[in-house]
Amino acid sequence: MRKVFTRNPDAIIAVEEISRARAVVEQVRAGSLPTGSLAATYTQLNSARLTTGSPSTVILPQTGFNASGTVGLPLDPRRWVQWSQARDNVTLARLGAAEVRRQLSVTVSQVYLSVLVQRKLVQADENAVRNAEAHVDYTRTRLDAGNGTLVDFQRASALYYTDRAQLERSRFLLVRLQEQLGVLLGESSPVDVSAEVQLPAAPADLKSGLDDADRLRSDLRLARERLFATAKVRRDSWADFMPSASATFEVQYQTPPTQTLPSESWQLLLTMGFPIYDGGLRYGLLKERRALESEAGVRLDATLRQVRSDVRTALAELERARAGLELAREAARLSTEVLRLTTVSYRTGLTNDLQVIDAQLASRNAEISAALAENDERQAQLDLLNATGHFPPTGQLP
């Protein structure tokens, strides 16, 4: 699963969103930290500027050099709360990336299981083709020997060609699923799978499932964090009504000195602003933040209901899938045995060709049903793991 997280475009973009959120924190933080700057000016005039009268005094020398250094400190509550809110956005981006990884893991696992079951369906169709081919050969032998009928041979041939067509379709669907898996894994070629998967254990009862989902589901954690972030933004609206201030300290060096600029000087500037009237902007922002907080609360409630429904549905789905799997396996076993007995009876003259064909169709359908039932059981396990937050396993997260 780590390969998916490092090569799938959605997972890569989610990680980059975390980096972008951290970069925004640095940008917002800069507005609350001290700033410093240096400046230098060299002046060359055609001649010195003198006062009129006698004796004359130099106002501006012909050549002058000025250097200054400035340190500023903004004191704005709005920037402080924006800094804090930007840090909360990093947490949101991290939880959003975890949710992307969860959804991506489920999608990849579903396609992986689909490839596995499609391979079994191809195998079932191949078995059906072999059985039909053997039946065609036997009916041809009987027809050539004068013991069979043309109808039996044509009927067996029709079933053979039908099974061949079904096999080609199954192989095509397998190729499509392999291509889908390759795209999800970030590969430039189709990806095939053959190994059976062992899914981790999931909660067996409703209470533990709901508790685990409430604690582990990344979408639920993301919804809670969004509600917390929007509530904090609404609470931080007090900063819009507070005064702001700034302090600036500047040191200058001037050579040669002038009447207005001595050789060395400094100045301290304190500025304070009081918001009085802004056309209703602050109250409009406060109303918008309250609406966003309310929307986040509604989304959290909806996510909670969906999570609980997912757990209940997954538990019921797994129970029914396991029962159906046992029945399908038993049906496949019996159908295979019926086909064997019917074929033997046909060759001894106790049954007819129609019974053999019916047995072949029933065996193929039962084998396909068993493969689909196995896939349904695995998909149900995966749905339960996803619903309770146990998938993907914590150890597989980057």
Rounded Cα distance, 98 and 100, in Å: 5
Give me the pLDDT at residue 225, please.
Answer: 96
Domain membership flag for residue 114? yes
Residues of the chain with pLDDT below 50 are: 395-398
Nearest alpha-carbon partner for 359 in 132, 120, 125: 132
Domain membership flag for residue 56? no
Helices (H) and strands (E) in the chain, counts: 8, 6
Give me the pLDDT at residue 334, please.
Answer: 95
Domain membership flag for residue 169? yes
From the number of C-beta atoms within 10 Å of its C-beta (0-12, 13-18, 19+), residue 292 rates as: middle
Give the tens place of pLDDT for each residue, 326-364: 999 999 999 999 999 999 998 888 888 889 899 999 999
Number of domains in the chain: 1
Give me the pLDDT at residue 1, please.
Answer: 65
Domain membership flag for residue 75? yes
Domain membership flag for residue 35? no
Question: What CATH number should be reported for the domain holding residue 147?
Answer: 1.20.1600.10
Domain membership flag for residue 156? yes
Which residues is 273 bridged to in the sheet? 244
Give me the pLDDT at residue 398, please.
Answer: 40
Domain membership flag for residue 43? no
- Domain coverage including residue 308: 2-30+71-390
Domain membership flag for residue 227? yes
